[in-house]
Amino acid sequence: MMTHEELITELSHRLNWPEPKVAEMLEAAVEVMNAQLADNNPITLANLGDFITRRKTEYISVHPENNERWLIPPAIELLFEAAPELKEQLINNVKV
């Protein structure tokens, strides 16, 4: 697993940018993505995939033993669907 700091360091080396500039750019990108997803706008990143939000409706959950009922409030799920290129790359790079 790559940490946030490791990602910034790797991008800094690849782009030949100072780490603070990379961190600022990454933070701005995440803010834009969060705002778009909060407005229920899907985001497509080429060769990576699609980020989509889906609203789950409220429902009533019933405990199987005592029949106690709870109202589960609506929620927003974030879904990710990998691009075909990414799926293919992951399939071909699987290590056993």
CA distance 27 to 40: 20
Do 16 and 57 reside in the same domain of the chain?
Answer: no
Do 74 and 44 reside in the same domain of the chain?
Answer: yes
Q: How confident is the model at residue 94 (pLDDT cuts 50, 70, 90)?
A: low
Question: What are the CA-CA distances from residue 9 to residues 48, 81, 92, 95 (Å)?
Answer: 20, 27, 27, 25
- Write the CATH number for 67: 4.10.520.10
Mean pLDDT across the chain = 94
The pLDDT value given to residue 96:
46
pLDDT digit string (tens) for 18-35?
999 999 999 999 999 999
pLDDT digit string (tens) for 26-63?
999 999 999 999 999 999 999 999 999 999 999 999 99
The answer to whether residue 82 scores a pLDDT higher than 90 is yes
Do 54 and 81 reside in the same domain of the chain?
Answer: yes
Containing domain of residue 14, as a range? 1-39
Do 51 and 66 reside in the same domain of the chain?
Answer: yes
Do 46 and 33 reside in the same domain of the chain?
Answer: no
Chain center to CA of 34: 10
Domain count of the chain? 2
Do 28 and 69 reside in the same domain of the chain?
Answer: no
Both tokens of 87, joined, read 């799926």
Do 88 and 54 reside in the same domain of the chain?
Answer: yes
Do 8 and 34 reside in the same domain of the chain?
Answer: yes
The pLDDT value given to residue 95:
58
